Structure 1
Amino acid sequence: MKNMLNDIPAQLPNELYTDLINGKNFRVERIVSQGHSSPENFWYDQEEHEWVLILQGDAELLLEGENKPRKLNVGDHLNIPAHCKHRVISTSSSPKTIWLAIFYQ
């Protein structure tokens, strides 16, 4: 048995992505962020839908067309449709932000 909150390095120069399950039309991933954000002027534009849940820490996401970032705290979740451009504005450093992400067709 594994624990989503374990096996995390003390310092993360880059976000840590861990595939948990891969299926034909979906994948489940743990993402760990430590004060990370999207590069300036960078927007994610993904082929898949993405559902995210904050397990620890917090984050701010901005979806294209919205004027104000969405603040996500522990327990908050959000579904991002495919090709909905979005960016990570901020993530907490302490505690680190731990996301559960499900990508699906």
Structure 2
Amino acid sequence: MKVENLLTRLPAAKRAEAFTELLARPGVRVERIVSRGQATPGGAPMVQAQDEWVLLLEGAAGLRIEDSDEVTLHAGDHVWIAGGQQHWVTWTAKDRPTVWLAIHLD
């Protein structure tokens, strides 16, 4: 058995978000995302075919899903993003890593 910790040995993520696939099985993919000051460009929302459940493990971020107001996420907050929905990460903390756990469901 190999025990690992999602919050240790984090990538710097200073130029771009860092994505680490943790598990991939038919119909499900789990990844850790590390952000540090990144945001989604206003004119280029993220849209994916599959549903996504995201949990903020550490740090803070702003998130907006189409037709809704921006919300601020803190450690422990989680959100469901339905497949096909436009969404934007409006900001992430610059002074410390923002660590997400994302579960993608086909």
Q: What SS does the corresponding residue of 1:53 show, helix, strand or coil? A: strand
Of the three residues 33, 36, 41, the one matched with 2:35 is 33
Tell me the amino acid that sits aligned with residue 34 of structure 2: V
Hey, what does 2:95 align to over in structure 1? 94
Q: 2:57 aligned with 1:55, yes or no?
A: yes
Decide whether aligned partners of structure 1 residues 12 and 83 sit closer, same or farther in structure 2, where only a CA change above 3 A counts: same
Cα distance per residue 1:35-83 (max 9 Å; x no partner): 10012311111011000000000111111112x2011110000000000
Hey, what does 2:7 align to over in structure 1? 5
Can you give the 5+ residue segments of structure 2 that lack an aligned partner in the other structure?
none
Report the alpha carbon displacement of residue 11 of structure 1 after superposing the two structures with TM.
5.3
The count of residues paired between Structure 1 and Structure 2 equals 104
CA distance in 2, matches of 1:91, 1:11: 11
Identical-pair percentage? 38
Hey, what does 1:79 align to over in structure 2? 80
Q: 2:23 aligned with 1:21, yes or no?
A: yes
Can you give the 5+ residue segments of structure 1 that lack an aligned partner in the other structure?
none
Give the TM-score normalised by structure 1.
Answer: 0.93
Report the alpha carbon displacement of residue 94 of structure 1 after superposing the two structures with TM.
2.3
Decide whether aligned partners of structure 1 residues 25 and 11 sit closer, same or farther in structure 2, where only a CA change above 3 A counts: closer
Moved more, 17-26 or 86-95: 86-95
For the aligned residue pairs, the C-alpha RMSD in angstroms reads 1.1
Give yes or no for contact 1:57–1:94 (8 Å, CA) kept in 2.
no
CA distance in 1, matches of 2:92, 2:38: 6
Give yes or no for contact 2:11–2:34 (8 Å, CA) kept in 1.
no
